[in-house]
Structure 1
Amino acid sequence: MTILVIQCRLDSTRLPQKATLTLGGKPIIAWTMDAMHCVPADKYILATDEDSYPILSLIAKEKGWECFAGPKEDVLERFCLIIKETDADILIRATGDNPFLFYDAAQASIENFVSKKCDYFTYTGLPHGSGVEVFNAHTLLDAAEKTDSAYDHEHVGPAIYLYPEDYSIIMEKAPKEWNFPNLRTTIDTREDYETARRFVHVISGTKKIQKTYTASKIIKTISIPTVTKNILLCPSVQKGHGTGHLRRCIKLAAKTGAFLYIPQSYNLQQCSSLIDDALKNNELDDWQIVHSFTERKYDFIWADMFSLSKAMAQKLWAIAPVIAIDEGSLNTSYCDFVVDIIPSLSMDRSSNIFNPAFIDLPQKKRKNFTTEIHKVLISVGGEDPAGLTSIAETAFKNVKAVDGTSLDLTVARDTIPNLSEKLSKYDLVVTHYGFTAFEAAAANCAVILLGTTPLHIQLAKKFGFACIMNGAINTQTISEMILHPNKLGCGKEMKKALMAQRSSLEDLMISVSNCRRRGCPFCSVKTKNLKTEPDKVIFRDENKTLRRCSHCGLIYISFNVTPSISYKEPYFFENYRRQYGKTYLEDFNSIKSAGVRRSAVIDALYWKKHKNNSKKNTVPAIFDIGCAYGPFLAASADIGWTPYGIDASEEAIEYINKELGYPVVQSFFPDFEPAESFGRTRFEAVTMWYVIEHFENLDSVLRKVSTLLIPNGIFAFSTPSGSGVSAQYNKENFYKNSPSDHYTIFEPAKVSALLKKYGFKVKKIVYTGHHPERFPGYTKEKEAHLRMKSKLMNLGDTFEVYCIKVSELGELV
């Protein structure tokens, strides 16, 4: 007899009554039962307690399951009573808060259990909440007799698997296709429940769920960042801003399951109807509509609000990272990432992305551009504050087609659902500057824009649209315009952009959802006002946002879309070759040569400060952080120092151990203790060569460096310069080319003040990386002169800092 038992009760402390919460039109526990009904068994039983039985037995009966009530706290006893009642031989145990169980993994678990003749079998490495346990039912009865542990009696499985000396236990690593231990599918908290709702929405929308999800579908969907993050879409719902912002956010919410913020104070006339239509058409779930910012914690806010007031921008910034779409205000310092889609006039602010390819263009298009105009649509959108629809209608009624026939005129006074896919039916679309204009142009329709505002008139002209100002909307003007359909499109440059490969806001949302906001690597842990007043933005591009700290002046990456870089073998070989034309090891001798020079500077500074020590009796130790494949370790050893090193790369450390033999450790700085690895706690010098810029938290790094150094020890590092020739003469390009894993950009003039806070006194700065070819007006004849200029004016693109530890951290005020 094989029985499959799901344990469940309703008095969860973290999420009360969670088993009965609705998920995709049915209770959570029903999901678990449906998944487990795919697993072959002789009996299917829902095991609960007396208090939960009245409610859960009804659900069990509806799903064709038996329901058993037993002890509330002693779950092991509950299972034992079921085993005795059913005379079971094999027990499969599942829990009711796991709606996305892998039924195929459960089937495989049973097969493994039978073939391996064990007492207990389970897979390890499955997503948390996707697995089951299989027991020898007789063994579980025996185990229950032997244990009086409250933990064993609450959790069932430990009664067997914590006693391997008594029982045959197999915890087998899950096959590759199921092995995703970092994923989570269980429902234990309110956050888990909201993730589950988004999960179901992304797969099935608002449709009734008919079929149990497969493991592959579960893994694929729960791996999408927008599913596991709470994202809030904030559209403009204010009169005069049009309906495009709300419609765009409804589409995004429908695709991603994000929340949609609709304040109670909205005054956009079409807001209610657009929301109602989206709910009625199964695009949105009602739980997605929220009316305040305090209902939950949000991971990201996407603001599509036409123009953020400073007060609203500050409010959103304090809640979560803000991604702004087509933002019309100058309050974008409160926005972590700015996306411009609808082309606008030049603004006194930058954006991370400008790309009209994000406009959701129609699938249906005319085969060829309009040559004669007969069918005309007038659609000025959901709002028409200037009353241009009626004026245009009156003018067009008296316009004749080229062949003398009357125009087939359609006038839209309200928002037309799915308008973009209906545009291709018309020869001419009359609208205002906005989404419909670009959609119509992409559908190969002729387009005439009505000048609703002076700004819209300027925009229409800038991007090549034919536009009629309010006072000129008359029959004569229109009759003359429709004689030349070829002039009623958009400009060539905009047409090219519209025909380019499309980009998806949904995909952008997914990539951005892996990001997080960063504060200044020095100051963010010390200051408390960074959440209300952000630092000034100095640069934006598609990969990052750079800010300058208002406290210390450091330039840092505050938001980074690029995935984290792995410092494994490809970083030192393929990546290094792409940048320098050779691999790191091929460049080893050249790097070591620079290390010899640096070691000499450190050696001179150290012995100048430690004159009383005898060079014959003292062998100073140097600790190189980010030692890579060891060229600096070799250089410092050559001048008589004892080198130690640390690096995140396993391959690099393995190479040093095998080829160079220096004491090194594979670890992440500053989270390591030198006493454990090297048998010492302090060093005479600590170095970082092009490493310091890779740390996100420099405060903890420099504090650790201070503790590692002896009094008057040397701290030396090199880094790219934010004041070099590249930054001086082509700042935009310099910031753009700054790697995504360089979280800070140092400027030599600010280094002394920064290091002083940690007890270091700068003794020497060496300017390196002189590139005369990067000066404006460079020619081969000017090369020597420009190189000299670079050296005299300290315009090297990199620099080295050598400082002495003059005080301990505890002595600093």
Structure 2
Amino acid sequence: MMSLKKTGLFLQVRLNSCRMPGKALINLHGKPLIARVMERLSVIPADVRALLTSSESLPLLKPISDSLGWDIFAGSSQNVLKRYADAALYYEVDIIIRATGDNPLLSPEIAMETLDLFNKKKRDLAYLAPIPYGSGVEVISKEALLAANENARLPYQMEHVTPYIYDNKDKFVIACDRYHDDEVARADVRITIDTREDYERLNYLLRNIGSAASNLSIISITRGWDGLKFEKFKRALIILDGEDEAAVKFALELSYKLSSDFNLFASFKKNNYEYTDLMYNFDIKYIEYEELSSIVANEGSFDRIAVIAGDTSLNEMKFYKSLGPVVSLGDKGEGGEIADVRIGNRVAASKKNINFNFYFEDTPGPESGADKRAYSKKIRKVLVNFTGDDYIKLTRNVSTAFAELGYEVSYTSDSSIAASKNDLSALNVPAKIAPSNSLNLNEFDAIATSFNRIFFECILQGKPVLLIAANSSQEKFIKFYDYKYHISDKEGAGLIKDLKVNIEKILGLMKSDKVYQPEGASILSEVKNRIFNNGIINVAEFIRDWSPSTVICPYCCDLDSALLHRNALWNMYKCPKCGLYYTINFNEKQNIYVEDYFFEEYKRLYGKTYEEDRENIRKLAINRINILKKYINSGSLLDFGSGMGFFAEYAEEQGYKTTSIDVSAYAVDYMKNKLGLNAICADQSYLEKSPDFYDVITSFYVIEHIKDFEKMIFLFYQRLSADGVLVLSTPNAAGFSIKRRFETYVEKHPQDHYRIYSTKFMKSLFKKYKFKNIKINITGIHPERMVKNQKLLKFKSVKFFLVLVSKLFHLGDTFEIYARKK
């Protein structure tokens, strides 16, 4: 009698991935991302449903798996293929449905069809293609999975589970079919979450196609995707305390600079309805403060939050951070200390401190060519633009006034006021409608508007504008900018006869000031600088370009890291559990290792160019080779992150056959053509797919540049021969400079140094990957940094004692570690 085969539904996930740390826990439309995936998969029939994760991620994921009735299995962090093979044996399954934790809209329909294909064809592996990216699964036989685990040799095959099977089609039978519905069988829809932008896009998709994400069919998802243009899918929320008019002014200016990239919302901590009309005029939707939690629960987090307040409490800031990533502006309260990014008000340079990432500078913005353009001396074409509650009255009366004065008038329609078009079209006014969503201001000689985003747009373009205050709030803000070309509500903005008089008066003032000629451009330029100073520009650019990240230890996944230092490029944290120092960069820096790095940048850091430092580097090489020869006298040697090759040059002289790898094309060209070395321009991905093994791998001052440092150690281990030797050097988190002179040390900390390791941490990591004969060599010992009285260093005994203590207690600012592969 044939026994039924047992099916295991395995969902792989870990929290310390480097591209988007803590991704599985992030709030996606009201629920943790991983819970979304599990809910989608729960309808697929399986004997076992299990999360496959790492031991570091397990404590944070187990409550979620328990709540949804899933099992959880911890296996290898880096060798995901082994994790699957171990789980298959542990659960005694015959068929494995493989899913990944970054696909919250994974399709049960596609999964079921893939399983049917596998069972009907009796293959080793089955999948469907083409399908939306992030919607599918693979179905694998246990035998194929175990064979892959036993025979895979490339790290790439181990990390991604099934490449060994695809790479050996002569050994395995693979079935691929097209999904039955052509409307779905397509690869141009991306519903995975690999980056922050993917996450923001899917949150937007779910807001538009419904909250019941676990029940959505794949056809509904693809149709929803097609119906959205994704031109402006991010949401920004501005929170104010509700009393400070200067803060409201700042919020309006900031919102204008963000409006091309974000859908904007605002809320007042002390609900203040005085400014809701102003918010509307700037395309900002007002939200009651008490409703913020429910909106996030139902619609997902905001993509950016700007808190403009002077003194927030810790509890208030914790609440704001529960709504989304927070930029705090001008906040001196305790709450500001825990904001993701903290921007201070302008202060003297001597008062700047590490509690703020950077400071608001209200210096004039960059010059604009539009300021100096010559306009026609004769005003003929006028655009009338109003929004909000006063739209009909103002549009009708101002359009009529201009028309009776003999101008050619156009007016914008307010789509939110359904009656506007009919009401105005009945007027006997020779005015035409200009579409508000595609205005070209250069078609008009003058603009008449209220205090709104069109006013800002005109000022930015150097376009003269006549402001008509619709209410006292608008008039208040017009005075902030000292803008004299305006008609106030008190002067009878609603009466056509008075409007005509005041319009003539203001236009006459504009002509006398020559604002329509190059000579008068400076007047509008001064107004522009009051609105768009460098502070507003820098803050808006930062918010737009910032890629927020969850604060989670990249090694042990602890969520309680202490914030140690802020600057304009990154925040630095220390994990209380494993002791790792790490930075979270606000934006990724491109490859800096071009020719200039080895000259100007290297000289800035170390006082001489890389080539001028050759003698010192060779001295270090002599010491390193002397220690290395105690492990191995000769053999193949890979120098990873080799710089310009001075260590490899010496190693060749000492009998090692070297290969050098560096990301700098300049350095590789130098090694090949000037030193005659075997050199390759590549990063760590080269090691993922290279079949080559080495007797020695060296990597000096590189691992601090690698975010996924554990993967780097795994790659080194996999590329070493049996009994091969690994040698690394790196800054020391337990060194004297970090422990006793931290602020001085961190001021020079390079942006691309993502991690700082202690000797204890690195030794523990080496043991985790089964290295033996581990030796720590303390370097970077600077006695002059350890004593205040430099005269003491004249005594050799003092210097000897400081060096001895530094080596004994691992207080050097750097260290080397040597180890042999088991």
> TM-score, normalised to structure 1's length?
0.47
Kindly indicate whether structure 1 or structure 2 has the higher relative contact order, using CA contacts under 8 Å at least 6 residues apart: 2
Query: Bigger radius of gyration, 1 or 2?
Result: 1
